[in-house]
Amino acid sequence: MADFHQEYREKLITAAEAAALVHSGDWIDLGWSACTPHAFDKALAARAEELSDVKLRGGVLCRSLAIFDVPNAGEHFNWYSFHATGPERKWIANGCGYYIPVRYSEVPRYYRENLAPADGAVVLCSPMDEFGYFNFGVSASANAAMCETAKKVVVEVNENVPRCHGGFEHCIHISQVDFVVESENEPMDAIAAGPISEVDRKVAELIVPQIPNGACLQLGIGGMPNAVGAMISESDLKDLGVHTEMYVDAFVDMAKAGKITGAKKNIDRGRQVFAFGAGSQKLYDYVNDNPECMSAPVDYVNDIRTIAALDNFISINNAVDFDLFGQVSSETSGVRHISGAGGQLDFVLGAYLSKGGKSFICCSSTFTSKDGKLHSRILPTLHEGSVVTDTRANAQYLVTEYGCVCLKGLATWQRAEALISIAHPDFRDELIREAEKMKIWKPSNKI
């Protein structure tokens, strides 16, 4: 049997030595979300003055990276995001970052077919096991394809990375690795779901009664999905399943409350399937070496065909704005970048194809700007420059605290009527006037 530990020792280098492999102009891929490396990031930041135009790629960062805390960071490093969080939005707004439009499910294929091989890939992993494998932890995501196509692969080992069971592409063998870096075993990056507001609770109250026993759940991140999870934990629902792009704390709470068994799933029965996870330490402790949890590549998890194979699939996600045509924007507000396409459209389409499936896109009816002014999130048309995440032909259930409407099969005036009915009352008359101008309002309509 091969001596994997000897090979490990031969490939072991310091974080500074790994950072020294990077040259100006290089493309470097980093592990996804909570499995973005720590030690390499700090070592690369220490070399900032020696480098220019280093292009780093990743997504759903849980923290601000050290490379962007250096003086004149944009001259040395540029960030390319597959899906932006708060720190990434800041870099994009400051001109030292860019978004890569993707359907998240296609990212592994992008690596294998569309992107030139990166100069290096650096990913946070759990320690090597007796068979020579490093586990990708909570981020199977597209990490296997990323490492498969990179010119050099560095794994940064951290004892706090949970070892997640999977089926395939959830780990990498020492023979596929060029270098190993041992980190200082920093805690896993946490990402907060945010407090549950009264609006979130009202939205959850509209959705939870529509979830049957044995349903399979997908939740996005944020207060509204978190509120749904909390309400399910206190409900009489049973035998729920999980098949979700992102594994969040709400699933742990539901599982501990006995609501999740996966017993009714058509595929991956008994397994909670996810492409990546991020949350509190409670989540990382729960998924660690837990056979119930299945970390799988995103081109399997988010594949519309996989989702459609699961009966009673319930998808719950957030949006930025709706318009009266039923278009959903979940990525931008005008040209201001906020998030990314992610897997939202895949789950909207897959849930509708599922026997008994439903997709719910949620948002508060209003928001208050910094000047204290109240604005409607339901608009006559999306703001100029806003990106359409879910087309008007695809949206199924749209939800605010004022109601839940299904748009399937509705004509333009019927859609306008339905959406105005769930708008904040202060904006309904104005929306009616705009609908009349757009000739999608009938004089006989009543709200």
Helix (H), strand (E) at residue 246: strand 241-247
Q: Distance between CA 390 and CA 144 in Å, rounded?
A: 28
Which ranges in 208-266 belong to alpha helices (H)? 223-233, 249-256
Residue found by looking up tokens 């946490």 in the block: 190
Three-state secondary structure call for residue 375: strand
Question: Phi and psi dihedrals of 335, rounded to 5?
Answer: -95, 0
Query: What tokens appear for 14 in the block?
Result: 């310091």
Burial class (CB in 10 A: 0-12, 13-18, 19+), 13: middle
Catalytic site residue from 169, 245, 401, 434: 245
Decide if 182 is catalytic.
Answer: no
DSSP states of 365-434 as a string?
SEEE-TTS-EEESEESSPPTTPPPSB-TTT--EEEETTEEEE-TT--HHHHHHHHHHTS-HHHHHHHHHH
Find all residues with CB under 8 Å of 83, minimum gap 6, and list them: 59, 60, 102, 104, 339, 340, 341, 342
Q: Which residue has the tokens 């979940």?
A: 330
- 337 forms beta bridges with 332
Beta bridge partners of 100: none
Adjacent-strand bridge partners of 332: 337
Catalytic residues: 245
